[in-house]
Amino acid sequence: MKSLNAWFIVIAALLSGVVEGHNRSQSFSLWTLDSQQLQMLYTVPSREITRLKQSNVSSLEVILINSLKSKIKVIQDANECPLLASYNFQILPSKPGYLRVTARFECPLILDRSPPELLIGSFFDVSSSHVHYAQIVNPGRAPMDYLFTEDRQRQAVELGGNSSSGSLAQALATHVQLGVLHILAGIDHLIFVLALLLLLPSRRALIWMISGFTLGHSVTLSLAVLGWVVPDIIAIEALIGFSIALVSAENIMLRNGSNRGIGIAAVALLGAMMLLSMSELYKPAISLVSLVGLLIFTLSYLSLVDRSYVTMQLRPFLCIAFGLIHGFGFASGFVDVGLPTDRLWSALLGFNLGVELGQLMVIGIVWVVYLGLANYRLATAYAAELCSALFCGIGLYWFVVRSYGSMLS
């Protein structure tokens, strides 16, 4: 079984290039209403535009504009509102790693009297899990938030309300949905949660582990969104892969006692990365000091995990530690779609609640399946070990590739 696990780890690492991890697909737009006109500011990460393949076009700006011209419409009374000629789709300055486009539409009737519909279909044809977050600003009234998905690409704009409490409730509900979609589309976060479940813990141990993970990611999500901590997102993405690999390796070790082999593999991988870092040939996103710390932590932790009951006592603390890392990953997705600064706390609360709901949905499904297979303990044990090997290979791939970025991708 040990050799089979090793092959599964290698195969998973080789095939992980086709797995889309934490770089989920999303975009953001801000719409400002003025009598009969709508001014749009559309923002999207540059990496998203690479999904839109167009022959003989090398500029990301041109690719994005060509796509938006056919994918974004403003409709009033079943008629399409035309673009103002002097405000056609134009590129605006933006922060590094993002592109921003502006355009202005003019409708035949006053918008307050005849509210428009927005049709936003960008990126859904290349990524079914794409999420677009739109904020509508109508001067003198509370902003409104809308979430566009593959199944909901056309939505009517509601302009009748001016209640701030209603706006807060809508922002909360919208960001709850955004949090659910975020966790369900985040393959790496889901794999980490599944890796925690593969030890088939008791209900009490499961509650402690999930509580630790929730506590950890809630703290760093809040710190990052509020701007009190600015993490290195590339390093965070790599560490998320490391967390998956370590938890999965721990599962394997506890089932077949291969602690020595796992320790040797950890020394070999992290040692090679440290040597490359010192040689200045290929500097990873993770610093040399951090690599040394990871090696010490891994060997120390694995030396303690020699019995399953010890693991159950240590796992909540491990979940808190890795939850802190995953929280920064959640924050990157939350910040990407743009923040309603006037309703930051309700948006943050809603997003965090959505992440928890999505997480609990996955845990509930897995737990029901586990209870249904309770009479097939030998088969579930083998399946859990093989899944741990697969997850370990995927985690290792993400850790290495994200550490070195474009040099290995």
Q: pLDDT: is 375 or 3 the higher one?
A: 375
Residue range 262-276, pLDDT digits in tens: 777 888 888 888 888
DSSP assignment of 30-95: EEEEETTEEEEEEEEEHHHHTTS--TT---HHHHHHHHHHHHEEEEETTEEPPBPGGG-SEEE---
Integer Cα distance of 312 and 290 in angstroms: 26
Across the chain, what does the average pLDDT equal?
78
* pLDDT tens sequence across 196-226: 888 666 777 777 888 888 888 888 888 877 7
Which is more confidently placed, 295 or 17?
A: 295
> What pLDDT sits at residue 20?
45
Higher pLDDT, 291 or 166: 291
Q: What is the pLDDT of residue 162?
A: 52
Per-residue pLDDT at 14 exceeds 50: no
Cβ(354)–Cβ(177) below 8 Å: yes
> Is 60 exceeded by the pLDDT of residue 4?
no
Rounded mean pLDDT, 228-252: 84
**For range 134-163, the mean pLDDT:** 78
Q: What is the pTM of this model?
A: 0.73
Burial of 23 (0-12, 13-18, 19+ CB in 10 A): middle
pLDDT > 90 fraction of the chain, expressed in percent and rounded: 5
Q: Map residue 206 onto helix, strand or coil.
A: helix
| Residue listed under structure tokens 């693991």 | 311
d(CA 107, CA 116): 8
